Structure 1
């Protein structure tokens, strides 16, 4: 999906337990989002599902920084998972997914080359509407 060039790629407009919104669209699964407007599903539903294979493709996007939203609580990825990022000289910040959404919006709006890898935990309660 392309966005207007005067705006940064994909702004996160809302979030809550089990969902992230971009505009009027609510996404209820994990995703990778970058400041260039690229978005992809991230095939993981729980922190314990993560492996190095989830983080390796993030380095291919060549961002300055990867923001890892670890779900409802702050958790840190294992060093073996993030080795491709370290070897490519790409920074990594871990925070809960709500904080990662806020941080992504700020950095992307500043024009930074940032990728958000956001874990949306599948077992989180689903609200009826955007808040």
Structure 2
């Protein structure tokens, strides 16, 4: 699904997504990734979803986001409870949704100038 045309603002926008891929500024990615308005970590060295731990977010945490939009893949699934608790304890918002919804949400928050990061399973 194409989301919108790439803007020349210099920020990382999610310009499309579909089965097995996410596009950042028109470049197709096929592995898990982390994106902020000014940083792209692709591939994100995330393990299989079921094995994900809070420590796997170390690269993301170094970016100091105020809010993380987490895309769990094609279907909605909560990560392990200790991950949710650790983000809460770190006082970082952590919203979980399927990856398609996370892509749309990231773009809206990014366009509002929010300090947002998206951690996305493809």
TM-score range, shorter chain: 0.7 to 0.9
Residue 52 (structure 1) aligns with: 54
Give the total of aligned pairs: 114
Q: What is the TM-score when the length of structure 2 is the normalising length? A: 0.83
Residue 39 (structure 1) aligns with: 40
Question: Which portions of structure 1, spanning 4 or more consecutive aligned residues, are displaced by more than 3 angstroms?
Answer: none
1:52 Cα deviation after fit: 2.1
Q: CA RMSD in A?
A: 1.8
1:45 Cα deviation after fit: 5.8
Alignment gaps of 5+ in structure 1? 1-5, 121-131
Query: Which protein has greater RCO, CA pairs closer than 8 Å, 6+ apart?
Result: 1
Q: What is the TM-score when the length of structure 1 is the normalising length? A: 0.78
Distance 2:36 2:73 in 1: 18
Aligned partner of residue 119 in structure 2, secondary structure: strand
Alignment gaps of 5+ in structure 2? 1-7
Larger radius of gyration: 1
Aligned partner of residue 32 in structure 1, secondary structure: strand
Cα pair distance change 1:78/1:8, threshold 3 Å: farther
Deviations 1:94-113 (A, max 9, x none): 00001000000000000000
**Are positions 1:68 and 2:70 aligned together?**
yes
